A = this chain, B = another copy of it.
Amino acid sequence: MTSRLPAVWKRLSSSITPRPAPPKGYLHGPIRDTAFPAGYALTGIHCGIKKTGAPDLAVILSTTPHAASAAACFTRNAFKAAPVVVSEDIINNSGGRARAIVVNSGCANAVTGKQGMEDAWAMVRATDALLEPAGQRETLVMSTGVIGQNLPISKIIAGIESQRAEGNSLASNFSAWERAAKAFMTTDTFPKLRARTFEIKGKKYRIAGMDKGAGMIHPDMGPPRSSGQLHATLLGCIMTDAAVSPRSLQSALTYAVDRSFNSISVDGDMSTNDTIVVLANGAAAGPQDEIDEERDRERYEAFRDELTTFAADLAQLVVRDGEGATKFVTISVEAGYGAATYEDAHQIASRISTSALVKTALYGEDANWGRVLAATGSVPLSVPLDPTKVSVSFIPTDGTPALPLLVSGEPEKVDEVRAKKILSVEDLEIQVQIGTGKESAKYWTCDFSYEYVRINGDYRS
């Protein structure tokens, strides 16, 4: 056994300052107020959960007269946090409609028994009361933070109620969206906010969203079940002013989440609170439920694909901010030379993304393709892998040609200088060709660093 290295630990703890601010590009700087979807009012405030005084409560209201369509995906963890149970209940009993979202950070309200359920419902009721006319069970609730502690519920309720008063901070401009995004943060080093305009059949829509997460990130989320095994510390919400039927909003979200949030990993650990919700309030005008799979498949698919791209963008921000991460790595099981089923391709990409040996080699900038291969080979597949058909390459992000490491099961004579150069860049893609089918999948992951160990060896204190 290694000695405990207390001296090094202490030196590291004192010499490593908190993670530096990321390049501005991650936030994209200020966003034009007109880029955000119409018909939403938001705020983010400090209500008293976090000792630091940082924002810890976000309120998001849809201000259109009719309720927005709502859809959600929840973690498949067996230990559902109270807010997950409550939000699932609301979605299941509302016919897929909601008008508000309330989020707190600093405490996950997970494994908190009956009190936790009462607290989550109290957050719903207080937020419902902000709506005009007042709502009933029309608020979705999310919490993130430490597991096993009760919420300081009176502070949270006071924070929500403060938004009923004159001079409240609810607004629709960039500043309000940014404040809400900041209130999602726990170990995140920057708020994660995106907005985009898209066009379908000549009509313009707007979509915006925010998410949070830096650790306990390996989501596996599915649509709500009436009595299920589902549950989330990745939280995200997406708002659009498109008019989408509830049913089609759920199927578009389920599709999008599989190819975005369910395809990222920081540490391979699935949380009890992972939740992604989407609201579509139709404020862009047009007929109710204009976008519906059965009414107009083409329009629906265009929307679904926009949602998927947008969700992938938000999901990747989480990996960029992965605890201790110094690399952003795309693992792709390639189309045309892919696996027999999407599930096989996705499983292989997931396994490589979570391999401690692959992730430490990435941190050490070591072109150790043998570890990629060992991880690939360890996945039980529906169609057995043929080692003589497998190829592995590094795809540089500077536009220079791919660097083959293994071709049809035979190792290449690798130019180690070039490999080192490719690995020294922050962004990198590892491409695996399986060669048994045409299904492809992508995963986004990061490396494993000293800093990861420091952050997680010392989280609660």
Contacts and interface: CB of A to CB of B under 8 A. Distances in A.
A364 B267 contact: no
A377 B231 contact: yes
A385 B78 contact: yes
Contacts of A355: 268-269
Residue in A5, A371, A454 whose Cβ sees the most chain B Cβ within 10 Å: A5
Interface stretch (A51-59, A302-310, A405-413): A405-413
Interface of A is mostly: loop
A78 B376 contact: yes
A360 B148 contact: no
A200 B361 CA distance: 49
Given A79-B373, A79-B387, A456 B357 contact: yes
Contacts of A354: 268
A268 B356 contact: yes
Interface string A290-328: 000000000000000000000000000000110011111
Interface in A68-100: 76-80
Contacts of A111: 370, 373, 387, 406, 409-411
Contacts of A456: 356-357, 360-361, 364
Interface string A361-383: 10110101111011111111100
Copies of chain A in the complex: 2
Contact of A378 (B4, B270, B406): B270
Contacts of A360: 452-453, 456-457
Contacts of A5: 16, 326, 449-451
B22 A15 contact: no
Contacts of A324: 2
A426 interface: yes
A458 B423 CA distance: 14
Interface in A249-297: 267-272
Contact of A267 (B80, B320, B326, B356): B356
A1 B364 contact: no
Contacts of A77: 374, 377-378
Interface in A415-461: 426, 448-454, 456-461
A49 interface: no
A147 interface: yes
A384 interface: yes
Nearest to A388: B113
Nearest to A231: B377
A216 interface: yes
A138 interface: no
Given A269-B355, A269-B374, A364-B456, 4 more contacts: A2-B20, A3-B326, A76-B380, A270-B374
Rank and list the top 5 A-B pairs by shortest CB-CB distance, nearest first: A364-B457, A147-B370, A360-B456, A78-B377, A270-B378
25 contacts: A1-B19, A2-B451, A5-B326, A8-B12, A78-B385, A108-B370, A110-B370, A111-B410, A112-B411, A147-B371, A148-B369, A215-B357, A267-B356, A268-B354, A269-B378, A272-B373, A272-B374, A360-B456, A361-B459, A363-B453, A366-B457, A366-B459, A368-B459, A448-B453, A450-B454
